């Protein structure tokens, strides 16, 4: 007989079917330690459960996880209820967790501590508290309509401050739907408006009974309330998250009502005392004002009121004089400036510039004529001087004064008697200013005291 081979998928389906139909695996109660847990907001959660010797994969769908009243943490020991099945794509078996609670510590206490830590980190406990009004007119109460809480509050308010009006906003204070109902009524009070104080509360009970006042939705509704909130939940030893978030905490409903309203008789007594103090204070103020008025009436200012403005009148005259002087001075300066500007403007007109150019042209023409005269007269004078100098040096000028000069037949100038030879046929020409004469030397006489040319 040949062996029949199965596919992996077929084997996995067979094993899954075995798991799903096994009566012992359909509902499993398991204890273990959470491992590999990473919170995935608004999604399915995947983690493992382990002990000292084994580990199993676990999955908790979003619908089941959202019902938990605590947040699982790495290493936390838990008790889980679920069923075992096989995940076909990987062929691994795992537990599908339907319910889970801490092992060794009550689930509610664990959830309470976790929520306290969460809200404390967000500052809901340490935020500034709203002050309660001294004289409230409208008081809203969120509680059960059939419990003793509302009766105690009504009795206390009517006894202490009957003029205040109480409006009941009935709500469930126990059970799974109570937290949502309480939060909705708190929000409704704020939406309606007109209330001075809001009281929430219920009587004592176990942690399960008080649990709606430990829910996050109630804590945030109290924190977001625009109306001051007084929390009165359980007995004095019971402390809920609502007590920590509220603006005031009261141990009992009666104490909450006493916090909400003053005593009318005490208030009236205080008002009477304040009225006396106010009257005395006003009278004292009026007396002081009357005394001051008497002093003012008796002062010289009221007897001779003209003194008030005498100094101001004198001051006004002085300032007026200064103003006129300053105006005249500025007017004079402006006139001078106007004259200067008119002169500058006149000088800057084209006609003035043309006149200036004509004057400059005439001046330049005169300078040019003078220069030309100087250029012409200077050579003329130099020529005249040279002519006079030449005339003074001219032989004719010398001859006109009676001087003559003698030349031989060859025209050579005779400058010494040594050049004349007596007794020869040598003749000479004597030159005069107006003519010449031919002479023949007869006798030569030499001057002894004259150098003979040596």
Report pLDDT digits (tens) over 271-314. 899 999 999 999 999 999 998 888 877 776 666 666 666 667 77
What distance in Å separates the CA atoms of residue 73 and residue 201, rounded to the nearest whole number?
Answer: 32
Band of pLDDT at residue 384, cut at 50, 70 and 90:
confident
CB 44 within 8 A of CB 63: no
What distance in Å separates the CA atoms of residue 214 and residue 112, rounded to the nearest whole number?
Answer: 7
Lowest mean pLDDT among 169-183, 250-264, 408-422: 408-422
Closest by Cα among 295, 256, 286 to 157: 256
DSSP 265: H
Q: What is the pLDDT of residue 261?
A: 94
Tens-place pLDDT, residues 78-87: 889 999 999 8
Kindly state the percentage of the chain with pLDDT values over 90: 37
Number of helices followed by number of strands (H, E) in the chain: 14, 14
Position 1 pLDDT exceeds 60: no
Tens-place pLDDT, residues 2-60: 678 888 888 888 888 888 888 888 899 999 889 889 999 889 999 999 988 899 999 99
Tell me what the mean pLDDT of segment 238-242 comes to.
86
Q: What is the pLDDT of residue 454?
A: 40
| Residue of higher predicted confidence among 370 and 95 | 95
Rounded to the nearest integer, the mean pLDDT of the chain is 85
- The superfamily CATH assigns to domain 114-262 is Response regulator (3.40.50.2300)
Residue whose pair of structure tokens reads 């077929």 in the numeric block? 10
Position 451 pLDDT exceeds 60: no
In three-state secondary structure terms, 281 is: helix
Distance of CA 450 to the CA centre of its chain: 124
Q: Can you name the CATH fold of 8-104?
A: OB fold (Dihydrolipoamide Acetyltransferase, E2P) (2.40.50)
Closest by Cα among 197, 194, 193, 102 to 142: 197
User: How do beta strands 138-143 and 197-202 pair?
Assistant: parallel
Q: What is the CA radius of gyration of the chain?
A: 70
Lowest mean pLDDT among 51-65, 207-221, 379-393: 379-393
179-183: long-range contacts, CB 8 A cutoff, minimum separation 24: 179/211, 179/212, 179/213, 179/215, 179/217, 179/218, 180/217, 182/142, 182/212, 182/213, 182/218, 182/221, 183/215, 183/217, 183/218, 183/220, 183/221
- Domain boundaries, given as residue ranges, for the chain: 8-104, 114-262, 265-303, 358-391, 400-439
| Residue of higher predicted confidence among 351 and 72 | 72
What distance in Å separates the CA atoms of residue 25 and residue 95, rounded to the nearest whole number?
Answer: 9
User: How do beta strands 428-431 and 405-407 pair?
Assistant: antiparallel
Tell me what the mean pLDDT of segment 237-252 comes to.
89
Q: What is the pLDDT of residue 48?
A: 92
What distance in Å separates the CA atoms of residue 328 and residue 334, rounded to the nearest whole number?
Answer: 10
Tell me what the mean pLDDT of segment 177-196 comes to.
95
CB 242 within 8 A of CB 119: no
In three-state secondary structure terms, 162 is: coil
**CB-side neighbour CA atoms (13 Å) of 94:** 18
Tens-place pLDDT, residues 89-132: 888 899 999 998 887 556 667 778 888 899 999 999 999 999 99
Spatial neighbors of 33 by CB under 8 A, at least 6 apart, are: 49, 50, 51, 75, 76, 77, 78
Structure tokens at 23: 């009566």
Band of pLDDT at residue 139, cut at 50, 70 and 90:
very high
């Amino acid at each position: 007989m040949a062996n029949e081979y199965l596919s992996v998928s077929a084997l996995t389906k067979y094993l899954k079917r075995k798991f799903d139909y096994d009566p012992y695996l359909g509902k499993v109660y398991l204890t273990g330690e959470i491992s590999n847990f990473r919170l995935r907001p608004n999604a399915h959660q995947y983690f493992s459960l382990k002990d000292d010797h084994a580990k199993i994969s676990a999955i908790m769908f979003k619908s089941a996880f959202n019902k938990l009243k605590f947040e699982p943490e790495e290493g936390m020991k838990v008790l889980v209820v679920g069923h075992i099945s096989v995940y076909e794509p990987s062929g691994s078996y795992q537990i599908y967790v339907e319910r889970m609670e801490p092992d060794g510590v009550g689930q509610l206490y664990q959830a309470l501590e976790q929520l306290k830590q969460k809200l404390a980190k967000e500052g809901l406990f340490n935020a500034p508290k709203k002050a309660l009004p001294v004289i409230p007119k409208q008081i809203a109460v969120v509680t059960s309509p059939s419990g003793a809480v509302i009766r105690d509050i009504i009795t206390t308010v009517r006894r202490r401050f009957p003029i205040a009006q109480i409006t009941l906003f009935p709500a469930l204070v126990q059970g799974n739907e109570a937290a949502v109902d309480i939060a909705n009524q708190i929000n409704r009070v704020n939406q309606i408006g007109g209330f001075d104080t809001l009281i929430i509360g219920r009587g004592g009970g176990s942690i399960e009974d008080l649990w709606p006042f430990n829910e996050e939705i109630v804590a945030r509704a109290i924190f977001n309330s625009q109306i001051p909130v007084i929390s009165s939940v359980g007995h004095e030893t019971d402390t809920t998250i609502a007590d920590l978030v509220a603006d005031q905490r009261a141990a009992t409903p009666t104490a909450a009502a006493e916090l909400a309203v003053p005593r009318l008789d005490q208030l009236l007594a205080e008002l009477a005392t304040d009225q006396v103090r106010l009257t005395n204070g006003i009278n004292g103020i009026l007396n002081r004002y009357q005394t001051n008025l008497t002093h003012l009436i008796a002062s010289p200012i009221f007897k001779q009121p003209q003194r008030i403005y005498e100094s101001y009148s004198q001051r006004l005259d002085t300032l007026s004089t200064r103003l006129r002087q300053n105006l005249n001075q500025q007017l004079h300066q402006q006139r001078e400036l106007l004259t200067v500007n008119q002169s500058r403007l006149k000088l800057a007109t084209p006609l003035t510039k043309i006149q200036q150019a004509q004057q400059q042209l005439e001046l330049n023409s005169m300078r040019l004529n003078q220069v030309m005269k100087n250029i012409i007269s200077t050579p003329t004078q130099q020529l005249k001087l040279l002519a006079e100098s030449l005339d003074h040096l001219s032989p004719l000028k010398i001859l006109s004064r009676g001087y003559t000069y003698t030349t031989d037949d060859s025209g050579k100038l005779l400058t010494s008697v040594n050049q004349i030879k007596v007794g020869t046929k040598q003749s000479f020409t004597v030159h005069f200013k107006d003519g010449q004469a031919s002479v023949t030397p007869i006798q030569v006489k030499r001057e002894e005291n004259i150098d003979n040319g040596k």
